[in-house]
Structure 1
Amino acid sequence: MKHQSSKWLIGLKVAGATAMVFTFSGGAFSLAYWLTYWFYSKHEVDLPEYVLQLVNWGLGVLLLILIFAVVNLLVQPKQRAVWNEMMDALRRMAKGDFNVMVDQDKKYRGQIGDFIQSINDMAHDLKQVELLRQEFISNVSHEIQSPLTSIRGFASTLQREDLSAEEQKHYLSIIEKETTRLSRISDNLLKLTTLESEQQQLDRRRYRLDAQLESIVLACEPQWLEKELELELELEETEIAANEEMLSQVWVNLIHNAIKFTPALGSIRIVLRKVENNIAVTITDTGIGISPEDQLRIFERFYMGDKQRTRTADGSGLGLSIVKKIVELHQGDIQVKSRLLAGSTFEVTLPAE
């Protein structure tokens, strides 16, 4: 229907342009006829009829050319100005300056107005991408600089001769921990880059999703037993065709976050069910919750939420970004619902087939 509407609009524009040409042509030839009629009435002309018709036709063509020349002279400066403005905007964008706005007063309409709007939209989108790029570089630099500073500081301290063996062991354990953190950041960045590449292959196979979730919960048992959390599982027997290793990263990340941000004696509930043609996994905790502002950006790379959910030393700030990308690669969706001090619910929806 949209394609037919586009063809209809194009047809109208062509018809309008054709009508305008015929109007000018008709006016020019009518004026030529009346001019020759007036001239013949004032002067005796003895010429064959076909010659008179040729004279009328030639004069009409001459008048038509003059009309188009006058119109072109009137319109061309205005067209030249707007084209120069658009070319200047494109040159600035090519150099990395996206703070451009063509035709701020909205003077132009029609096709040229649509073209100008597309340039403005492109500049706006590229500006947003550039801001995200700068923020990403800043966040990566911050994440890398923090452990490097710790490593450099404690390595310098270890050169002191008055340190006891116990102190040396403590500082070396910190250096090892920060080195592991750096390695995790590097691995996660590489993982994100791989996931975002067009060559990424899912390598799907069928397996029991309920068994996978149960296995991951059991693997996390030391963490939730240490905080005396209550774990409730409601898992329907479900088969799914997916990349088992990738989805394992999704569940590990979401379950670990639920454990991390749920205070002692709290509870976590994991539900797996089929909803029409989809499979839904919900992970609900009674943790500290997420503010409405943070919920809008929680899946962004390195995004730092409120202080209660600030990344800990063993976090890379990339986990939820990886989760979202893996879910999207499976043509699925992930949503979060939360209230501060009342817990959070993450729901992952995946196609059943």
Structure 2
Amino acid sequence: MTVHYTVWQSLDRVVRMFVIIIELVIIILILSLVIGVWIISQLSKRLNQPLTALTDSTQDLIQKPKQSYHETLTVPTNPEEVQELGDVFNTLLGSLNDTILKNQQFISDASHELRTPIAVILGHTELLEKHAADHPEIIQESVGYIDDEAHQMQELVTSLLALSRSTKAEAELTTVDVVPIIRTVVAQYQQGQQVVMKLPEKLLIHANAGQVQQILTALIDNARKYSSVETQVTVSAKRESENTVAITVADHGIGISDADKAKIFDRFYRADQSRSKQVAGYGIGLAIVRQLVELNDATVDVKDNQPAGSCFVIRFKSV
């Protein structure tokens, strides 16, 4: 005899339990998503705040109506990466500001130097227009003044062009023997003030031969301008160390004060105006020297000569 049992059980509770679990999971997911988005948003704002502050500082600087070209960006202290970025921006900004200020000063100085000869030419031109017919004796004198000032303007413009070229120039550096270069330059000064040489037989440097010649010519011209005809200008060269060759141009002239030594390579600067105002030139030659020296990976310094005068020392990389 076989007995069969049939058991019936309601699943409503199980279904409701699963529904509740699913609803809880969905609610938890939604809450997690909302809370997660909010937390990420807050963290993002906190992390981006230094960059935002740096951007705002840049925008404020751009929109500033008047700039002194000494401004810097406000750099956050944290995080370290943003601080480093801000410091790099300030370094770049400082370099650009320095270039702008130098260009402004250059334009101002050039305008000042040109103003005097232009005023003289205009003055004598007006004089000729008004009085030449009645006083013909003034014509030759006025034309002489006009001619002198025109030549000075031509010299200034030539110097400015040379300075501009030296600023934009590039140098192809090779191994050159500096001794024959010095001899060639000194050979140009056969008349007037004596230029003597103290040189070894051979001295190799890493430089551009043409620009080395320009540097030496400018320094010898400068030495002759500021020293008496009765004194000598000495050009010497020697190996200072295994990696350095020093070329010295020394004179026994008026010398340069310690305060002026740091400025004489600036454009249009002339040391001791009271004593140098009678000397021809515009204070551009040494600025060109500095530009060419830097192009040749060299250095230039000035020191006192004994018992009087100055020594300009250019140090090149030796070969």
Provide the rounded CA distance (Å) in 1 between the counterparts of 2:54 and 2:182.
Answer: 60
Task: Give the TM-score, by structure 1 length.
Answer: 0.68
Provide the rounded CA distance (Å) in 2 between the counterparts of 1:285 and 1:349.
Answer: 18
Q: State the Cα deviation string for residues 78-122 of structure 1 (Å, max 9, x = none).
A: 669725632423523799664544438x66553333344444444
1:252-291 correspondence to structure 2 within 5 Å: 252-263=217-228, 265-275=230-240, 276-291=242-257
Q: Could you tell me which residue of structure 2 aligns to residue 150 of structure 1? A: 120
Partner of 2:100: helix, strand, or coil?
Answer: helix
How far is 1:281 from its partner?
A: 1.0
Q: Could you tell me which residue of structure 2 aligns to residue 191 of structure 1? A: 162
Preserved CA contact (<8 Å) 2:301 2:314: yes
1:107-118 correspondence to structure 2 within 5 Å: 109-118=79-88
Identity of aligned residues (%): 23
Preserved CA contact (<8 Å) 1:287 1:343: yes
Q: Could you tell me which residue of structure 1 aligns to residue 191 of structure 2? A: 222
Partner of 2:193: helix, strand, or coil?
Answer: helix
1:13-28 correspondence to structure 2 within 5 Å: none
Preserved CA contact (<8 Å) 2:251 2:305: no
Provide the rounded CA distance (Å) in 2 between the counterparts of 1:318 and 1:116.
Answer: 36
Preserved CA contact (<8 Å) 1:270 1:281: yes
Partner of 1:347: helix, strand, or coil?
Answer: strand
Q: Could you tell me which residue of structure 2 aligns to residue 141 of structure 1? A: 111
Preserved CA contact (<8 Å) 1:181 1:316: no
Provide the rounded CA distance (Å) in 2 between the counterparts of 1:274 and 1:76.
Answer: 57
Q: Could you tell me which residue of structure 2 aligns to residue 67 of structure 1? A: 39
Task: Give the TM-score, by structure 2 length.
Answer: 0.74
Q: Cα–Cα, structure 1 residues 110 and 298, in superposed 2: closer, same or farther, change >3 Å? A: same
Q: Could you tell me which residue of structure 2 aligns to residue 91 of structure 1? A: 62
Partner of 2:315: helix, strand, or coil?
Answer: strand
Q: State the Cα deviation string for residues 225-269 of structure 1 (Å, max 9, x = none).
A: 6xxxxx542111236575444332222221121122123543432
Deviates more, 1:148-157 or 1:278-287: 148-157
Preserved CA contact (<8 Å) 1:202 1:243: yes
Preserved CA contact (<8 Å) 2:293 2:299: yes
How far is 1:128 from its partner?
A: 2.4
Aligned residues: 298
Preserved CA contact (<8 Å) 2:255 2:308: yes
Structure 2 gap segments, 5+ residues each: 1-15
Q: Cα–Cα, structure 1 residues 283 and 340, in superposed 2: closer, same or farther, change >3 Å? A: closer
Q: Could you tell me which residue of structure 2 aligns to residue 18 of structure 1? A: none
Query: RMSD of the TM alignment (CA)?
Result: 3.9
Which amino acid in the other structure matches residue 106 of structure 2? Answer: F
Structure 1 gap segments, 5+ residues each: 1-44, 226-230
The question of 1:124 aligning with 2:60 is answered no
Preserved CA contact (<8 Å) 2:223 2:251: yes
Which amino acid in the other structure matches residue 105 of structure 2? Answer: E
Which protein has the larger Cα radius of gyration, Structure 1 or Structure 2? 2
Provide the rounded CA distance (Å) in 1 between the counterparts of 2:314 and 2:125.
Answer: 44
The question of 1:248 aligning with 2:220 is answered no
